[in-house]
């Protein structure tokens, strides 16, 4: 093809895109690329040996629609149309679906779903790594119904362990790795009922510090300082705030006295300064509550590390251990942004989560490290309309064949966005600058034509703005989880066992098989763990 022909072809592609075509690949290229994908798959060989290390990445609330939208947004941020992009973990060779219902919930919450992933047994809503025989809040039943986690089992065999999250380190997902509680909300003693405190039942923060398996967690990084500090102690970053603990204990100091060669940090500079040759037990608590969303992190006055940076430091420390390691990394605020009806922050946190996975892939060997990426549950997040290829994923729908900014219209003649929620606080167009309004319905009778007013006119609204709140179908103070299956992505030893449609608790058994851990069915024997 001559230079002139290539120029003409590029113009034709641009015109095709403007007219609504893909403009990205010719029919021949689609066919060739499809065949190439099959040939690549044919060359993929499962890693049949056992793993030295396991890294579990958990995108909280990262349903399939979230992955799709984040993939497109990341691609568009890099000047691509977007749809053809792949997030780092989408390149993994093995993918399956996970059924996320819990023992008593059709649409589940994070406590039983993460408990299933790390213990191999499904349980009830609100419970942290105890079986369904425990009624919520019944601390007296915990000891007899504890479900041993894969992190605890790893510690017991001499492996190093770590938990990294952007939520409070005592929040449901990270807590399920190291704690056992009849209520996910019992994060500090101030969250527990008096009867539990008087009986000496340890809150989740205490269980992290008093962790009795192996030589204790080597790495714990996230938010939640207030759960570890007494009420008399002022927060180092926010002097007007204090800790929450009623018992007067400063658990950050107890971490330092409990473990030799330990460190406690609360900002990015301190984390960066940690000497991995001198520190074997690292606790980092970077906010009194949850950490900042990735979009807002740069505004943090004290300086806050990214999920990728925390993952890197965790790998620095854990990889020094001769017997391998188990690491759980949670992109926890994906979930929180969805609850707030804010797709921008949910997707940008998902993109940062994918960067953390990319770092782990670059830092590990697929022949000795199993990496699993999954979600605990989905959200009511939707991708709808008929937007043309390359349409801004956070924008309003423009259909193929229409000139730029001629938006598709709903039955009321109003433009609408590609992304939305089935329920949540964005009902009737609420955003940071738009108050919530009530939709009005005409009488249901002859000639009923549906909603006649109520939606805002989005023509002049920048729906790609970080603070824009996507519309929802029904009003709720907080958007809810979704009950559909989520994806599991895997690479490394025994990753080929991730196949088909799996019960969520099977993920534990895949990880245990990779680590050659003997089966340990049911709760621990009586007396093995006492409170």
User: Which residues are catalytically annotated?
Assistant: 110
- Rounded to whole angstroms, the Cα distance separating 186 from 200 reads 13
- Rounded to whole angstroms, the Cα distance separating 286 from 254 reads 17
Tokens 């955003």, located at residue: 431
- Rounded to whole angstroms, the Cα distance separating 272 from 306 reads 12
Question: Which residue(s) pair with 53 in the sheet?
Answer: 369
User: Can you say how many angstroms the Cα of residue 342 is from the centroid of all Cα atoms in its chain?
Assistant: 15
Structural contact between residues 371 and 55, judged by C-beta atoms closer than 8 angstroms: yes
List the one residue out of 16, 30, 285, 70 whose CA is nearest residue 171. Answer: 285
List the one residue out of 392, 379, 422 whose CA is nearest residue 59. Answer: 379
- Rounded to whole angstroms, the Cα distance separating 377 from 98 reads 9
- Rounded to whole angstroms, the Cα distance separating 7 from 12 reads 9
DSSP track, 235-264: PSS-TT-B--BSS---HHHHHHHHSTTEEE
φ/ψ region of 360 (left if φ > 0, alpha if ψ in -120 to 50, else beta) reads: alpha
Cβ neighbours for 239, distance < 8 A, ≥ 6 positions apart:
none
Token digits of residue 55: 């890294």
Token digits of residue 508: 């534990």
List the one residue out of 401, 352, 477 whose CA is nearest residue 19. Answer: 401
DSSP 428: T
- Rounded to whole angstroms, the Cα distance separating 53 from 364 reads 9
- Rounded to whole angstroms, the Cα distance separating 36 from 30 reads 10
Question: Which residue(s) pair with 379 in the sheet?
Answer: 481
Tokens 């449901």, located at residue: 172
Cβ neighbours for 14, distance < 8 A, ≥ 6 positions apart:
23
- Rounded to whole angstroms, the Cα distance separating 490 from 134 reads 32
76 three-class SS: helix
Q: Is 10 exposed, middle or buried (0-12, 13-18, 19+ CB in 10 A)?
A: exposed
Structural contact between residues 350 and 47, judged by C-beta atoms closer than 8 angstroms: no
List the one residue out of 369, 368, 402, 407 whose CA is nearest residue 385. Answer: 407
57 three-class SS: strand
């Amino acid at each position: 093809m001559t230079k002139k022909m290539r120029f003409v072809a590029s113009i034709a592609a641009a015109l095709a895109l403007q007219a609504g075509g893909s403009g990205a690949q010719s029919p021949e290229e689609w066919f060739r690329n499809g065949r190439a994908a099959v040939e690549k798959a044919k060359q993929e060989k499962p890693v049949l040996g056992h793993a030295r290390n396991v890294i579990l990445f958990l995108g909280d609330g990262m349903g399939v629609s979230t992955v799709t939208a984040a993939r497109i947004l990341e691609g568009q941020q890099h000047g691509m149309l977007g749809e053809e992009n792949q997030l780092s973990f989408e390149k993994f060779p093995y993918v399956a679906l996970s059924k996320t219902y819990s023992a008593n919930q059709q649409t589940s919450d994070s406590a039983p779903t993460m408990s299933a992933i790390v213990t191999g047994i499904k349980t009830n809503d609100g419970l942290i790594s105890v079986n369904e025989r425990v009624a919520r809040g019944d601390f007296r039943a915990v000891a007899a119904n504890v479900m041993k986690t894969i992190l605890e089992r790893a510690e017991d065999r001499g492996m190093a362990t770590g938990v990294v999250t952007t939520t409070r380190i005592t929040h449901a997902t990270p807590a399920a790795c190291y704690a056992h509680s009849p209520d996910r909300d019992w994060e500090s003693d101030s969250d527990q009922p008096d009867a539990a405190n008087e009986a000496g039942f340890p809150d989740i923060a205490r269980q992290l510090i008093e962790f009795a398996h192996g030589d204790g967690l080597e790495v714990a990084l996230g938010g939640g300082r207030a759960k570890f500090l007494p009420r008399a102690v002022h927060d180092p970053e926010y002097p007007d705030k204090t800790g929450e603990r009623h018992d007067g204990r400063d658990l950050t100091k107890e971490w330092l006295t409990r473990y030799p060669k330990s460190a406690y940090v609360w900002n990015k500079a301190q984390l960066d300064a940690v000497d991995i040759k001198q520190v074997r037990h690292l606790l980092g608590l970077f906010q009194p509550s949850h950490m900042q969303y990735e979009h807002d992190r740069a505004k943090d006055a004290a300086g806050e590390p990214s999920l990728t940076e925390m993952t890197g430091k965790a790998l620095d420390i854990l990889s020094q251990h001769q017997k391998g390691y188990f690491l759980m990394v949670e992109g926890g605020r994906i979930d929180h942004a969805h609850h707030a009806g804010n797709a921008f922050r949910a997707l940008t946190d998902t993109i940062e989560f994918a960067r953390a996975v990319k770092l782990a892939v670059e830092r590990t060997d697929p022949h000795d490290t199993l990496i699993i990426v999954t979600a605990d549950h989905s959200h009511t997040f939707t991708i709808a309309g008929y937007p043309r290829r390359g349409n801004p994923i956070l924008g309003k729908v423009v259909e193929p064949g229409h000139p730029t900014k001629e938006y598709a219209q709903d039955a009321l003649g109003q433009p609408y966005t590609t992304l939305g929620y089935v329920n949540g606080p964005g009902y009737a167009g609420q955003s940071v600058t738009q108050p919530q309004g009530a939709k009005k319905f005409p009488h249901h009778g002859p000639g009923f034509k549906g909603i006649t007013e109520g939606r805002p006119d989005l023509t002049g609204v920048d729906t790609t703005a970080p603070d824009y709140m996507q519309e929802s179908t029904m009003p709720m103070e907080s958007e809810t989880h979704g009950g559909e299956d989520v994806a599991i992505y895997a690479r490394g030893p025994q990753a080929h066992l991730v196949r088909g449609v799996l019960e969520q608790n099977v993920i534990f058994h895949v990880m245990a098989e990779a680590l050659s851990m003997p089966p340990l069915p049911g709760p621990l024997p009586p007396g093995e763990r006492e409170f």
